[in-house]
Amino acid sequence: MAATVSLLYKLTPNPITLILSSQKESRDGQVSYKYFYKRAPAVHKGEHERMVDILNAADVQEMCQIHGYDVENRIVRTKDDYLLTIQRIIKPGEPKRRSNGRVVYFHHGLLMSCEVWVTMVQTHQNLPFLLYDLGYDVWLGNNRGNKYCQKHLIFPIKSERFWNFSIDEFAMFDIPNSIDYILNETGAKTLTYIGFSQGTAQAFAAVSINPDLNKKVEQIIAISPATTPHGLYSRFLDILLKSSPNIVYLLFSRKTLMPSVFFWQQIMYPPFFDTMIDISNYILFNWRAHNITKLQKLCSYAHLYSTTSVKTVVHWFQIIGSKKFHMYRDNASTIGGSTSITYPLKSIKIPIHLIYGTTDSLVDIDVMLSQLPNENTTAQPVENHEHLDNIWGYDVKQKVFTHVLNYLDEALHASPPLPVERIEQSYLKAIGSGDESSTLHNDIKEVELSYRKPSASGSLFL
Name 193's bridge partners: 105, 220
Query: CB atoms < 10 A from the CB of 122, how many?
Result: 23
Q: Which of 113, 166, 178, 197 is catalytic?
A: 197
Give the Cα-Cα-Cα angle 216, 164, 158 (nearest 5 degrees).
Answer: 120
Cα–Cα distance measured from residue 86 to residue 140, given in angstroms and rounded to the nearest whole number? 6
Tell me, yes or no, if 370 is annotated catalytic: no
Cα–Cα distance measured from residue 66 to residue 48, given in angstroms and rounded to the nearest whole number? 13
Cα–Cα distance measured from residue 462 to residue 447, given in angstroms and rounded to the nearest whole number? 15
Name 352's bridge partners: 220, 377
Tell me, yes or no, if 387 is annotated catalytic: yes
CB neighbour class for 212 (10 Å; exposed up to 12, middle 13-18, buried from 19)? exposed
Cα–Cα distance measured from residue 279 to residue 76, given in angstroms and rounded to the nearest whole number? 37
Tell me, yes or no, if 197 is annotated catalytic: yes
217 and 176 Cβ atoms separated by less than 8 Å: no
Q: Which of 360, 385, 403, 426 is catalytic?
A: 360
Q: Which of 309, 387, 389, 403 is catalytic?
A: 387
Which active-site residues does the annotation give?
Answer: 197, 360, 387
